[in-house]
Homo-oligomer: A and B are copies of this chain.
């Protein structure tokens, strides 16, 4: 007996979340006896709440295949966190209502920690309402903060982009340091954890090689130690490359970006942290500087995605469908690392209850004692995640990314749903 499936993309997007969608859709098509159609939520879970579903069966096999090399969220994503079951039971009941109306028996939710929590709650409610739905969370986040899985698909490609950009910009700065810019600051994402900043450490292997300083959210900013290190780097190597996490904090735990922006200018949203760091250096050491803020470029850079990451992103999508068909409910596929070198990995899965509301922090053993670099342990973990390239096809000098038709599924309910 076949049922329809519902798939939604959630939260900040990545270079490879569509590769996961590709894995879900291609695998579902191979199991037409079990999964009739896959409906996608337009703009993520909002599409379900508003009964705005996309009929993916109207897309050709070639179009679905092209999702593998297209960044962003092809069906639209949303930053919308469903609240607790007690707080807003209506939202969960609405989801079940929609699922019933469209004969949906599978719920695939592709996101981070919040999404795993939502998928978990839907599975609990479906039990209590006696409406059977197989819920599978699929990991995705550049923040790499989901527990149990070795890595979150999406992270490896950001890591690769940042490591490459650090290496490249460093060659630029080094070329000119004698007579021009001596300090380069690159601001990267990571509001709560330094995973992405850590990845920049892969750009070099000796203290002489950039980045010379990494500022992690995990290491409270010690201005004096920092300036000493910058000065040392400039005196010794004639230049200094600094990678700073947007989440870098002062000794009191306040974001450097926020505090400085508030104190000095009164504009809370103006600053990035890179200009703050740069101006501290300029003020105390007088070095000429440049800074870059990678922002969305880092998480959409499909043109230089990690092949390992793309493969894993596809594989978790594929595995999610296989798990669901096997009758596994309330689970999330995981990446299991078998060995570091040669890098080998396999797929596993874990109960959503073990994932929901648990955040994986970067281990303290990944950051050097002085707080400004990564350790060999960290390097061993990160190295395989950026291996391999997976170039998209090009047309007219630009990546040939696909746009879907995203045709709407006819509505079956007469009711609208108002978000509270």
Q: A residues within 8 Å of B by Cβ?
A: 9, 12-13, 15, 43-44, 46, 70-74, 76-80, 160, 163-165, 167-169, 171-176, 178-180, 184, 186, 202-203, 264-265, 267, 269-272, 274-275, 278-279, 282, 290-297, 299-304, 306, 383, 386-389, 391, 394, 396-399, 401
Contacts and interface: CB of A to CB of B under 8 A. Distances in A.
Nearest to A185: B295
A173 B300 CA distance: 10
A275 B279 contact: no
B304 A178 contact: no
A260 B171 CA distance: 31
Contacts of A303: 164, 168, 304
Nearest to A176: B77
Give the interface SS of chain A, mostly helix, strand, loop or mixed. Answer: mixed
Contacts of A383: 396-397
Contact of A76 (B164, B178, B278): B178
A13 B396 contact: no
A294 B296 contact: no
Contacts of A15: 168
A168 B71 contact: yes
A292 B294 CA distance: 5
Contacts of A73: 175-176
Interface centre among A165, A297, A396 (most CB of B within 10 A): A297
B391 A389 contact: yes
B304 A295 contact: no
A74 B304 CA distance: 24
